[in-house]
Amino acid sequence: MDHRLDPEHEELRRTVAEFAHDVVAPKIGEYYEHDEFPYEIVREMGRMGLFGLPYPEEYGGMGGDYFALCLALEELARVDSSVAITLEAAVSLGSMPIYRFGTEEQKREWLPRLCSGEMLGAFGLTEPEGGSDAGATRTTARYDADTDEWVINGTKCFITNAGTDITGLVTVAALTRSSEEEGNASPTRSISTIIVPTGTPGFTVSKKYSKVGWNASDTRELSFSDCRVPAANLLGEPGRGYAQFLRILDEGRIAIAALATGLAQGCVDESLRYAGERRAFGRPIGANQAIQFKLADMEMRAHTSRLAWYHAASRMLAGEPFKKEAALAKLHSSDAAVTNAREATQIHGGYGFMNEYPVARMWRDSKILEIGEGTSEVQRMLIARELGLAG
């Protein structure tokens, strides 16, 4: 098995790495410190075509694949995770459901603007009482035959890219039932996904959360009160929403694994640099075996995380089952990111606790990787099931 990149993927990786180093690194600290969304950086990412990486050119994409997206995510996260999660959520959660399950009309209406980065999309799945238990969805969408519309009521939380100035839509997972079933004591508990454009009456976006990390990304709570959208905004078949978002989350775990790998590798990069510059007791601290062993272990974690997401992505692109491999990659890489961030902070000593050093951001950003798009406990549950263990 050869894990060397082909020339096209290597060129993309190098281009994004240069962008991350030259454009993102000098600016992102100020955005992060002030909890501001980096519109200028996102616009440049759009001009580079990053938001359209895995989509065909006919929809405004770059004609690449999901592996290309993950390569870009890893390189961005080596420098900053807020920028990386903005891209990941916009593509794998915001536009991918439309590409995977949308009608031709929906694709042509929404994808060109999403691929260009002119518009961001979001995916409204998580609810206050339904995190890991996605089947506990309480948001409802009632079909009104008189107006041929869906009427949506409910609340979503922790939704990335939901409230920026360029957010154009949120795809909402909701319990659907027809108006004829309204009086039924046991209404059909089928979940469907529906496109809700920004600005639709009855759709309210809350103020930004105050977060521990990912401070330069946008995360909001959403509420829907008799929010009406055309019946044509249904994404795919009615009642198939649960299966749709399971597929989207399986793919997204590979993307998050790539992002986590980037953070883990960024911790190595910053710690190597610091260990060569910082002197104590008359020599660089990198000359001490204790620091060398820490860095060796950090490199091992980043390297094996990369192999894990490469393997999961290769199975996905080959059309082979990849649920277990995606869960393995997400579980291992998120653990590697958290551990490497802790070790990088330790190597930096007191400076690692100062926000002017990138490892401070990495430390704050790492923990959510063990929670978002499926907690580590959920990943272990999925792996156990794929091994044939009953639950």
CB-CB neighbours of 194 under 10 Å: 25
Q: Decide: 244 and 100 in contact? Cβ < 8 Å.
A: yes
Q: Could you give the CA distance from residue 201 to residue 83 in angstroms, rounded to a whole number?
A: 30
Q: Decide: 52 and 96 in contact? Cβ < 8 Å.
A: no
Q: Could you give the CA distance from residue 203 to residue 194 in angstroms, rounded to a whole number?
A: 13
CB-CB neighbours of 296 under 10 Å: 11
Amino acid of residue 250: D
User: Angle at which helices 7-19 and 39-48 pack, to 10 degrees?
Assistant: 160
Q: Decide: 170 and 122 in contact? Cβ < 8 Å.
A: yes
Is 373 an active-site residue?
yes
Q: Could you give the CA distance from residue 12 to residue 17 in angstroms, rounded to a whole number?
A: 8
Catalytic pick from 299, 373, 377, 386?
A: 373
Q: Decide: 66 and 26 in contact? Cβ < 8 Å.
A: no
- Nearest residue to 334 (alpha-carbon basis) of 2, 85, 133, 30: 85
In the block, tokens 């990088």 appear at: 344
What is the DSSP secondary-structure string of 341-372? HHHHHHHHGGGGGSTTSHHHHHHHHHGGGGTT
Q: Could you give the CA distance from residue 163 to residue 169 in angstroms, rounded to a whole number?
A: 10
Exposure string of 23-35, with b = 16+ CB inside 10 Å and e = fewer, is: bbeeebbebbeee
H or E element, residue 248: helix 241-277
Q: Decide: 169 and 110 in contact? Cβ < 8 Å.
A: yes
At 145, give phi and psi (nearest 5°): -65, -25
**Token pair of 231, please?**
């019946």
Strand partners of residue 132: none
Supply the residues annotated as catalytic: 373
